Structure 1
C-alpha cells in the first residue's frame, strides 16, 4: 500500500468511527444514562454497567446498595447461565459485538427475550453497522450503542420501518396481513 493509499485509508477510518458513541433506540438517539466501569469500587455515577465477572463478584453489594441501577456487560464469549437468576434486578444488559461478523450476541438476545422473558433494556454495543440494525431489532435489542459515524448518520434519518419481507417474526414484531410471503396464491 502506497503512502497516498494509506493516507486515504486513514481518512476513511476517521470518517467511519471517531470513538464517540451515541445511544439509539426506537424513537431516535437518546441520552445514555449508564456509564461503563470495570470495577464496582470505581462507580461514581447514579447508573452503571459492569463486566459480567465483576457484576457476579459484587452481586451482594449491588443488591444492597444499588439495586436496579447497575447493569451488566456480557462479552461475546461469556455464558449467560450465572446471570439468569438475577434477571429481574438487572435494568440493562449490554451484549458485545466485538466485530461485525461475530453473531453470538444475536443468539443471547433471542434467548434473553424469548426463553427467559427479560424485561429490562437489552443493548447492543461494539462494532455495530447499519446492515445489522433490522436484525438487532428483530432479535429484541431495545437500544444500540453506535460509534460508526456513517451508521449514526443513517440512523438519524431512520424511518422506523423494518423490511417487511421476513419469513419469520422477530421478538415483539408481527407481520400484518397474515399471508406468507413465499406463497403467491
Structure 2
C-alpha cells in the first residue's frame, strides 16, 4: 500500500480513499458546483428544502444520541449518513445505525466517524456501517496491514439470514427433556 493511500481518511471496501464530501453548516456558503455536502442533522432539518433543492449529493452528520426519526421523510434524498462516535465507550450510534437500516430501510452509505477503533469495526459493519473515517493511528496501521478483528459469537441477533431470528437465543434454551414442568 502506498504512503499516499495511507494518508487518505476514509476506509471502505478494503482500502483507504479520499473524502469527497464538503462539510457545511449555517455559517458556511454552499459550494457553487454540485459537490457532495455533509450537513449537521439539526441544520439539515432546519433548512431541508434548501439542501434538497440543490444539485449534488447530500449527506447528514448525526451526533451520538441525536434523534433520527425526523430524518425519515428525507432518507431517499440522502446518499450518506455519517454517525459520530465521540469516544470508544459511546455506543449510541450503533442503535441509530440499526434503526436506519432495519426499521427505516435506509439503503445509502452509513459512515462511522470519530473514535473508531479496530475492535469496533466488525460490530459497526454488523449494524450496517460500510465506511469509516479512521483517525486512530494504530487502527489505521492495522487496516493497512490487513489485520482485522473477528467476532465469532454474538449475544444479540440482527435481521440477517446468516444468524438466528431476532428474539431467539438458541444458546440459552434447555433441551425439552430438561424443561421444568408447567
Q: Which moved more, 1:138-147 or 1:20-29?
A: 20-29
Mapped pair 1:24 → 2:11: yes
More helix, by proportion: 1
Q: Is the 8 A contact 2:88 2:116 kept in 1?
A: yes
Q: Which moved more, 1:96-105 or 1:56-65?
A: 56-65
SS in 1 for 2:119: helix
Work out the CA distance in 2 between the residues paired with 1:153 and 1:173. 33
Work out the CA distance in 1 between the residues paired with 2:87 and 2:58. 25
Mapped pair 1:47 → 2:31: no
**Cα RMSD, aligned residues only:** 2.8
Give the alignment partner of residue 57 of structure 2, picking from 63, 66, 69: 69
TM-score where L is the length of structure 1? 0.75
Work out the CA distance in 2 between the residues paired with 1:79 and 1:58. 17
* Aligned counterpart, 2:69: 81
Moved over 6 A (4+): none
Work out the CA distance in 1 between the residues paired with 2:114 and 2:94. 13
Q: Is the 8 A contact 1:40 1:54 kept in 2?
A: no
Q: Is the 8 A contact 1:93 1:120 kept in 2?
A: yes
Work out the CA distance in 2 between the residues paired with 1:106 and 1:32. 22
Q: Which has the higher contact order (CA 8 A, sep 6+)?
A: 1
**Number of positions where the alignment pairs a residue of Structure 1 with one of Structure 2:** 161
Mapped pair 1:144 → 2:128: no
Using the TM superposition, give the Cα deviation of residue 43 of structure 1 relative to its aligned residue in structure 2, in angstroms.
Answer: 2.7
Using the TM superposition, give the Cα deviation of residue 164 of structure 1 relative to its aligned residue in structure 2, in angstroms.
Answer: 3.4
Structure 2 unaligned residues grouped into runs of 5+: 1-6, 164-168, 173-182
Using the TM superposition, give the Cα deviation of residue 69 of structure 1 relative to its aligned residue in structure 2, in angstroms.
Answer: 0.9
SS in 1 for 2:87: coil
Structure 1 unaligned residues grouped into runs of 5+: 1-19
TM-score where L is the length of structure 2? 0.76
Change in Cα spacing, 1:160 to 1:118, as seen in structure 2 (3 Å) is: farther
Change in Cα spacing, 1:171 to 1:95, as seen in structure 2 (3 Å) is: farther
SS in 2 for 1:93: strand
